[in-house]
Structure 1
């Protein structure tokens, strides 16, 4: 049998899978992969139990359950003041990753370029490559801010897409009004450019308020905006998210979506349709801010330098006072020797540059945070 020719020859197992496997192997506390370990809202579980007993076991319509699409539209209008047509401008997806994949496939053709801001979530660049495009990686500043002049300098006639993530994983930063204005100016000066705004942590922001592209009339008609129910409701295993885009863009996305998954899990969709009207999303930021502050307070006597965290449920830390090892080697040592698994930030960089930073996930219950920080403070 002939050997298959890889479409992604340089891609191996993701750093998230590697560190979670290592955490299990060494029985370490897993602060690496970004998933909560505490119960979800009891009302959501009750809704799910009722749906399971009902007759929601067959395919939902390709774009999503009609009631869920309507509820999403109302959510977008309530929080961002944008009126969207549920039938033509919203798509329920199998997680935000599938939304990102499908949007990129819709807009990138062979030879096109897409700008990716590193450190970046690991699905962006490979998806661009699978579409025959070329990812153009621009490194963020050491504090995870963006030099928008560098971004604009990288735009060519072949650049079709700018990919941004706000709030930012792994950096924990949130775009300011100045950042959003810079994006608007870039889009205005380059009318051939589309925007993919990954906003899966949209409700997890603290001192700095998240500004959604949904609220920006000047550019949202050329933007794909992704959201995640998994992140918002602590149900990452449900793998359900959605995409918002104007009809002209969504029509192309749906053509591809129907041949990837066609439709998304019926029981999850019906459950979320029932639950969304009663869910208070305004409390999510304060919920995670308490966890962030709890983690930071317990870490104040450690030798780690905690960077500013304005959003997401990740805390980045510098370990220069502890070790001069690479972040990959240090993360491995933390897992194997000290019993706490983390993510090395260089894994988010195309050039693998290493600033001696690691990422903790604080979306954990208090007992887990206490046990983990006790170990970390002894290092």
Structure 2
């Protein structure tokens, strides 16, 4: 290793998703069911708002906490859902930026953070950057949020419980009862509760539930990347107790500075856009892929997001993904999101024609 490289960078690897993309680079026209972003474009009115912001000179730094109109709109929406005495909000550089700021603001070296396995790839990497200790909770085979398992894992070093519902990579959505129980456990033990809600708009079988409803100290991270296909715009937001938010802002001043100002004006317009048509489309995509693969693979039917996490028909999810790539199908091995190598992730954020092609390949592989 080069002598200038910091030790902290050796505690985690580069994203395994990138390695899959490298493996598939030679494919001429892959059936791509790997990408974790919507296949629809940013709504036209959101594009127009950002263009207008650029052309009217709104191109400088914004305040670190975000432009005032967007913060005001977010505050009003949040206050209507959670009328807590002490809840502030700021605009982050995407939800990933929000996650990093949350870890930096709250996790000391040696602090333990509990989350489910499978998990979003950033969780253990960000924790290790801070010197934190990941405590993954095995949620196989059904990927449910089990409050008893969470409480059993708590030690004197536990600083935070991190929940993600609907989840990436499983698409499984926690019930309100499960989230309420975890919220009360966090309050009982005086542990931070961080809720990653980036897929909150993508709920197919009922209304969205947040632990913030049951614990007024919950820190919530959300954004516009998935809901409005604005993954490249880097506009997220974080809300929670004002002292936590102020600390995160202090770190943002010296790191991300602010979210891109023109994109924030686009996000302000995005708050007025009706997404029900897209959500209905994605519910149909979920129903299509889950219905077609139910007789071929073991999986828990996703209640949200746009992922299906299926068990490979052989003893290695990674080798199964290699077989799929040989047939032109791009999916992601489950071990990227887990300590286990038994599953693979499908993203159904794709045109229906692509989904049908992918389904046929998956059926062939299951029979072989």
TM over 0.5: yes
Shift of 1:265: 0.5
State the Cα distance separating 1:284 from its structure 2 match.
4.8
How do 1:121-132 and structure 2 match up within 5 A? 121-132=120-131
**182-191 or 236-245, which deviates more:** 182-191
Is the partner of 1:90 in helix, strand or coil? strand
Kindly report which structure 2 residues correspond to 1:329-340, keeping only aligned pairs within 5 A, or say none: 329-335=319-325, 337-340=326-329
Aligned to 2:231: 236
Deviations 1:147-195 (A, max 9, x none): 322221221222111111111111111111220222133123202x111
Runs of at least 5 residues in structure 2 that lack an aligned partner in the other structure:
none
* Shift, 1:282, TM fit: 5.0
Q: CA deviation at 1:108?
A: 1.0
| Correspondence list, 1:50-61, <5 A | 50-61=52-63
Does 1:358 pair with 2:344?
yes
Distance apart, 1:304 and its partner CA: 3.3
CA drift of 1:283 comes to: 5.0
Could you tell me whether the CA contact under 8 Å between 2:172 and 2:300 is conserved in 1? no
Equivalent in the alignment of 2:300: 307
Structure 1 match to 2:74: 72
Contact 2:94–2:259 (CA under 8 A) maintained in structure 1:
no
Match of 1:14 in 2: 15
Contact in 2 for aligned 1:298/1:370 (Cα 8 Å)? no
1:198-237 equivalent positions in 2, closer than 5 A? 198-216=196-214, 219-221=215-217, 223-237=218-232
CA contact (8 A) 1:82 1:214 kept: no
- Report the CA distance between 1:327 and its aligned residue: 0.5
Question: In 1, Cα distance between the equivalents of 2:177 and 2:58?
Answer: 46
User: Is the 8 Å Cα contact of residues 19 and 32 (structure 1) preserved in structure 2?
Assistant: no
TM-score by length of 2: 0.91
Does the alignment pair 1:316 with 2:302? Answer: no
**Equivalent pairs, count:** 363
Distance in 1, matches of 2:230 and 2:123, equals 22
CA contact (8 A) 2:180 2:211 kept: no
> Paired residue for 1:262?
257
Q: Which residue matches 1:346? A: 335
Q: Using the TM superposition, give the Cα deviation of residue 43 of structure 1 relative to its aligned residue in structure 2, in angstroms.
A: 2.0
Cα distance in 1 for residues equivalent to 2:85 and 2:122 = 27
Distance 1:353 1:299, change over 3 A: closer
Over 3 Å counting, the alpha-carbon distance change for 1:148 and 1:214 in structure 2 is: closer
CA separation in 2, counterparts of 1:134 and 1:9? 15
Distance in 2 between residues matched to 1:205 and 1:50, nearest whole Å: 32
Structure 1 SS opposite 2:310: strand
Cα distance change on mapping 1:347 and 1:233 into 2, 3 Å:
same
- Following superposition, the deviation at residue 214 of structure 1 comes to 3.4
Deviation, structure 1 residue 197: 0.5
The SS at the match of 1:287 is helix
2:268 alignment partner, SS class: helix
Alignment of 1:1-379 (within 5 A): 2-27=3-28, 28-78=30-80, 80-82=81-83, 89-191=88-190, 193-216=191-214, 219-221=215-217, 223-276=218-271, 278-299=272-293, 303-320=296-313, 324-335=314-325, 337-349=326-338, 352-354=339-341, 356-379=342-365
CA distance in 2, matches of 1:3, 1:262: 26
> Would the aligned equivalents of 1:69 and 1:90 in 2 still touch at CA under 8 Å?
yes
TM-score, length of structure 1 as denominator length: 0.89
Q: What is the CA-CA distance between 1:227 and the residue it aligns to?
A: 0.4
Checking the alignment, whether the CA contact within 8 Å between 1:144 and 1:171 is kept in structure 2 is yes
The answer (yes or no) to whether the contact 1:203–1:282 under 8 Å persists in 2 is no
**Matched position secondary structure for 1:16:** helix
CA distance in 1, matches of 2:77, 2:33: 31
Native 8 Å contact 1:23 1:30 kept in 2: no
**Kindly tell me: are residues 2 and 23 of structure 1, through their superposed partners in 2, closer, same or farther at Cα, counting changes over 3 Å?**
closer
Kindly provide the CA deviation profile for residues 213-236 of structure 1, in whole angstroms up to 9, marking residues without a partner as x.
Answer: 3333xx122x21000201110121
User: Can you list the C-alpha shifts for 1:43-72, whole angstroms capped at 9, x where unaligned?
Assistant: 222323322322111110110011111122
